């Protein structure tokens, strides 16, 4: 039955990219065949219970944008205050050297498009590129493995600590057809290396493209990653992302996430706290409105002694917006003395909005501290009246309270200029 879906049919009929690298081309064919055979996941699958792909399944996307290199892009659409370091820009899945900033890279950092890295030394990437798929990746991971020809390869040598944040920009731009594009990201931080990274999905004009991004991040012992994810994809676009992070001993990740754009924005994050004392902190906000569907799935796996994770997420749904949040924490056998906490509070601004939240906790170790909770509520009438009684109009009062509700998520973001900018985006994203 699934073969009949226009989405799958169109993808299956696409010409596979040819790299000339035997193992890669063979693997692409295998993954495309597997994708076509299995089709798209449906809501009977637990991971897709609240996100139906029926509408997506009926659409046909053209593979790739032959003219991606020509689209005029105003750099203002991806400019961010306080983010002035190396930059890699992709437009409709194609690397744009003219918009990127790769000269004068700080010492100890290697940053290049995946296409270039494959040309130089494909063999060193073979293991990583094979890894995601080897573990029963789903439809979109397979599709990405088959079709992604470009992406990011970012490596920090042991001890490297570049000052400036690295900015990865994924832009959608209007094209002649509705496009499907796919990117793959591989990031490795050597022992004791420290990196600030801004992952930025933005739009250069209205379009309804479909995109996948699969990323792997490895933190060796003592490495530190400060990550900001700003998702402002075009209102009509669909974006499916899969991120896997592996943390070595005492490695630390702090991730601040704003999910604002897209018609369908799905992000699966899998953090493996593999080394003793590894620490994973996430702060996130998702804000579906209109008919947006934003689905975040966190899977945090404590696999070593004394690992810690702390997740604070806020959801705000307005109009007919739909938010889904799943925070699954697993404390594996042997991960004694681990500390896991997760909180997801949600706000419904309209009677037609919906948020489905599901915290999960599974503990197989000893002396574990764990706390998790989720709530769904509405704006406090007393607070609204208090603000209005002081002269603040209804719409502004609602916006003020909503931003305040989300504010905790940004509080510990170290770059002040970026923090204020992001807080401003939260306010802007509210209907008045």
Chain residues in the site for other proteins (CB under 8 A): 380-383, 385-394, 396-397, 400-401, 403-405, 407-408
Asked if 198 contacts 231 with a C-beta cutoff of 8 angstroms, the reply is no
Q: Report the nearest approach of other proteins to the CB of residue 229 (Å).
A: 22
Task: Describe the crossing of helices 114-121 and 123-134 by its angle, rounded to 10 degrees.
Answer: 120
Q: Give the CA count within 13 Å in the CB-facing half-sphere of 11.
A: 38
Q: How far apart are the C-alpha atoms of 417 and 413, rounded to whole Å?
A: 10
Give me 183's structure tokens.
């990117």
Residue bearing tokens 């637990």: 46
Q: How far apart are the C-alpha atoms of 398 and 421, rounded to whole Å?
A: 20
Task: Describe the crossing of helices 139-147 and 123-134 by its angle, rounded to 10 degrees.
Answer: 160
What backbone torsions phi and psi does residue 89 show, to the nearest 5 degrees? -120, 135
Q: Report the nearest approach of other proteins to the CB of residue 375 (Å).
A: 15
Q: Report the nearest approach of other proteins to the CB of residue 140 (Å).
A: 36
Q: Is 102 left (phi over 0), alpha (psi -120 to 50) or beta?
A: alpha
Q: Report the nearest approach of other proteins to the CB of residue 411 (Å).
A: 9
Q: Report the nearest approach of other proteins to the CB of residue 389 (Å).
A: 5
Q: Between residues 355 and 401, which has the closer beta carbon with respect to other proteins?
A: 401
| Helix, strand counts (H, E) of the chain | 9, 20
Cross-strand partners of 320: none
> What's the chain's length in residues?
432
Q: Between residues 21 and 392, which has the closer beta carbon with respect to other proteins?
A: 392
H-helix or E-strand containing 360?
strand 354-363
Residue bearing tokens 């991120």: 243
Q: Between residues 32 and 401, which has the closer beta carbon with respect to other proteins?
A: 401
Q: Report the nearest approach of other proteins to the CB of residue 172 (Å).
A: 32
Q: Give the CA count within 13 Å in the CB-facing half-sphere of 304.
A: 18
Q: Between residues 23 and 386, which has the closer beta carbon with respect to other proteins?
A: 386
Q: How far apart are the C-alpha atoms of 39 and 34, rounded to whole Å?
A: 8
Q: Report the nearest approach of other proteins to the CB of residue 313 (Å).
A: 15
Q: Between residues 38 and 427, which has the closer beta carbon with respect to other proteins?
A: 427
Q: Between residues 14 and 427, which has the closer beta carbon with respect to other proteins?
A: 427
Q: Between residues 23 and 385, which has the closer beta carbon with respect to other proteins?
A: 385
- By CB atoms closer than 10 A (0-12, 13-18, 19+), residue 166 is buried
Q: How is the chain split among helix, strand and coil, in percent rounded to 5?
A: 25, 40, 40
Q: Between residues 358 and 388, which has the closer beta carbon with respect to other proteins?
A: 388
Neighbours of 278 (CB within 10 A): 31
Q: Between residues 110 and 416, which has the closer beta carbon with respect to other proteins?
A: 416
Q: Between residues 16 and 408, which has the closer beta carbon with respect to other proteins?
A: 408
Q: Report the nearest approach of other proteins to the CB of residue 428 (Å).
A: 16
**What residue ranges in 60-204 does DSSP mark as E strands?**
62-63, 87-91, 94-95, 109-113, 150-156, 166-172, 179-189, 194-203
């Amino acid at each position: 039955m699934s073969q009949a879906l226009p989405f799958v049919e169109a993808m299956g009929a696409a010409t596979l990219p040819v790299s000339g690298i035997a193992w890669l081309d063979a693997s692409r064919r295998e993954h495309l065949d597997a994708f076509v055979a299995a089709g798209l996941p449906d809501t009977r699958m637990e991971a897709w219970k609240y996100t139906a792909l029926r509408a997506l399944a009926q659409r046909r996307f053209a593979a790739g944008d032959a003219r991606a290199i020509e689209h005029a892009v105003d750099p203002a659409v991806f400019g961010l205050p306080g983010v002035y370091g190396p930059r890699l820009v992709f437009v409709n899945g194609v690397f744009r050297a003219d918009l990127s900033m790769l000269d004068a890279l700080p010492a100890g950092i290697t940053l290049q498009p995946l296409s270039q890295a494959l040309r130089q030394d494909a063999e060193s990437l073979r293991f990583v590129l094979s890894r995601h798929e080897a573990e029963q990746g789903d439809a979109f991971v397979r599709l990405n493995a088959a079709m992604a020809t470009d992406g990011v390869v970012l490596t920090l040598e042991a001890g490297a600590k570049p000052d400036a944040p690295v900015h990865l920009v994924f832009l959608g731009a209007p094209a002649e057809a509705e496009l499907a594009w796919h990117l793959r990201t591989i990031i490795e931080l050597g022992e004791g290396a420290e990196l600030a990274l801004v992952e930025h999905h933005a739009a250069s004009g209205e379009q309804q493209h479909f995109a996948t991004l699969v990323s792997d991040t490895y933190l060796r012992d003592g490495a530190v990653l400060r990550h900001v994810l700003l998702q402002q994809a075009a209102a009509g676009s669909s974006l499916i992302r899969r991120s896997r992070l592996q943390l070595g001993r005492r490695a630390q990740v702090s991730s601040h996430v704003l999910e604002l754009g897209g018609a369908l924005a799905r992000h699966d994050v899998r953090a493996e706290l593999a080394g003793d004392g590894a620490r994973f902190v996430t702060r996130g906000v998702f804000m579906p409105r209109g008919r947006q569907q934003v689905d975040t799935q966190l899977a945090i796996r404590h696999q070593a002694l004394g690992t810690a994770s702390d997740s604070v997420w806020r959801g705000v749904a307005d109009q007919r917006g739909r938010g889904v949040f799943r925070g699954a924490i697993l404390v594996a056998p042997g991960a004694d003395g681990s500390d896991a906490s997760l909180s997801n509070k949600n706000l419904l601004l309209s009677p037609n909005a919906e948020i489905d939240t599901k915290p999960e906790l599974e503990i197989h170790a000893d002396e574990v501290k764990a706390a998790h909770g989720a709530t769904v509520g509405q704006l406090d009438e007393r607070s609204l009246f208090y603000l209005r009684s002081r002269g603040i109009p209804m719409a502004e009062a609602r916006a003020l309270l909503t931003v305040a509700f989300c504010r905790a998520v940004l509080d510990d973001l170290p770059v002040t200029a970026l923090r204020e900018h992001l807080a401003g985006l939260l306010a802007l994203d509210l209907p008045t």
